[in-house]
Amino acid sequence: MARQKSEQVRKAILEAAHRLFIEKGYIATTISSIARAAGTSQSNVYVYFASKFEIAFAVFDPWLRTKIAALEANVTAQETPEERLRTLIDGLLRGIAADRSGQTLTLVQALATAKPGDEYNPDLLIWTMSRIHHMIGSALPNSDPAEREALTHSLMLAFDGIALRQNLRREEIKDSHSVDALYMMVRALVDRRALTRVQEPRD
Amino acid sequence: MARQKSEQVRKAILEAAHRLFIEKGYIATTISSIARAAGTSQSNVYVYFASKFEIAFAVFDPWLRTKIAALEANVTAQETPEERLRTLIDGLLRGIAADRSGQTLTLVQALATAKPGDEYNPDLLIWTMSRIHHMIGSALPNSDPAEREALTHSLMLAFDGIALRQNLRREEIKDSHSVDALYMMVRALVDRRALTRVQEPRD
DNA sequence: TCACATACCGAATGACATTCGCTATTGACA
DNA sequence: TGTCAATAGCGAATGTCATTCGGTATGTGA
């Protein structure tokens, strides 16, 4: 009954927020500027979203899903497991986490400044983890489940690390080194298995 | 000439901030509450520190140096390289980065909310990296320099990842898994070298 | 003892996120 | 097709901070 929310207004708010978050970051973007860019009033934004935090999450969620889906398509398209592994690590860390024209920083800033009441739905987190887990399976066939699990967690951890640094740390630390270092370690894991098999063959 | 700053007031401010940051986090701690706890006025805090950000850094710096120094003593005290490696990874990630009664979250929140003018001295970052690098040397003797370099970067990255998650991510992700996963990968790196040496001895 | 730089203080100021009181619309139902 | 209650939408508060300002008082170097 009574008046309905306009899908158009909602979209306008999200699009304005999306653009402004990328341009100025979450913290420097004000609700007032989002409202202005969306062609509505500051207070009306709160009819559509309960808080600034909620807007950030509503922007981040579809952004990340799109990125991860594209990454997965890219990984799957690779011929060899080695290529899939490199594509996965590079795409996830350099392509998504370190992307300065993306929404990763939005999430980091939103989470860092979240107030006690600011909750978020864990679905996105779980979904992302399951996609990465799946990609790792295709990049490391014949690996044992514990190993795949461990790698999934390590990659998520690296994602967070890169995300935090993206703007917050100084240039003294080069992200590229870290990504290469991680890749090197994963390869070592793979190679060990290969070597172990050579030494103690058992199929 | 003229009046001097009181070392006592400075110390009182830092001690109050230290305690409040741990209790309530950086963001939820107000300059006003720091001043009250330090027994001075809000505005006088600005005579000693240019900004809230600067206070955070002044608190974090000695805290981290103490922690890292203690870790290094602990690592050095271990008998075998294996024990040193485990002590290093566990102490750094679980003991320092994930310590909820420490100042890690302070730094994350301070960095996330830093304004353009908020600069910090990179000395601490460089010093920390060099200590970790040194500890890795003692945990992986005979490793090649590139490998040690890569591990140092990976550990710093993991540190940041854990730090970000400390309060910001949900329980859906268990940090412990990630730490174990990382340890497993480093061991794989070590083992590979051992296996490689067995296969192609050359000493 | 004098003079001045400045520690120290209480009261602004300016930015925000969020809330409030009110008006205008609109969708369900008679 | 008219009525009306829920609520979209708006402009003006509110409340919370970090930071700044204007003034006063004190310690220090001369």
Question: Which pLDDT tens digit goes with each residue over A21-57?
Answer: 999 999 999 999 999 999 999 999 999 999 999 999 9
Percent of chain B with pLDDT over 70: 91
CA gap A153, B176 in Å, rounded: 10
What's the burial of B115, exposed, middle or buried (CB within 10 Å: 0-12/13-18/19+)? Answer: exposed
Q: Roughly how many angstroms between the first and final C-alpha of chain A, as a whole number? A: 66
What is the average pLDDT score of chain B?
Answer: 91
Are A95 and A186 found together in one domain? yes
> Is the complex ipTM more than 0.85?
yes
| Residue pointed to by tokens 């999934």 | A152
B25: nearest Cα among B107, B118, B147: B107
**B54 lies in some domain:** no
Are A104 and A182 found together in one domain? yes
Are B106 and B176 found together in one domain? yes
- Total domains in chain A come to 2
CA gap A132, B59 in Å, rounded: 38
Are B44 and B130 found together in one domain? no
Mean pLDDT of B61-68: 98
Are B73 and B142 found together in one domain? yes
Q: For residue A50, which nucleotide's C1' is closest to its Cα?
A: C18
CA gap A123, A133 in Å, rounded: 15
**B138 lies in some domain:** yes
CA gap B47, B51 in Å, rounded: 10
Are B44 and B63 found together in one domain? no
Q: Which residues of chain A have pLDDT under 70?
A: 1, 167-172, 193-203
Are A17 and A105 found together in one domain? no
Are B92 and B4 found together in one domain? no
More confident: B107 or B143: B107
Torsion of CA B168, B174, B180, B185, to 10 degrees: -70
Check residue A177 and report its DSSP letter: H
A201 to chain B nearest CA, in Å? 14
Mutation site for A-interface testing, chosen from B104, B113, B153, B191 by largest number of A Cβ within 10 Å: B153
| B171-181 confidence digits (pLDDT tens) | 667 778 889 98
Q: How many CB pairs under 8 A join A and B?
A: 157
Nearest to A170 among B125, B161, B169 (CB): B125
Alpha carbon distances (Å) from B17 to A97, A109, A191, B35: 32, 22, 49, 9
Check residue B140 and report its DSSP letter: S
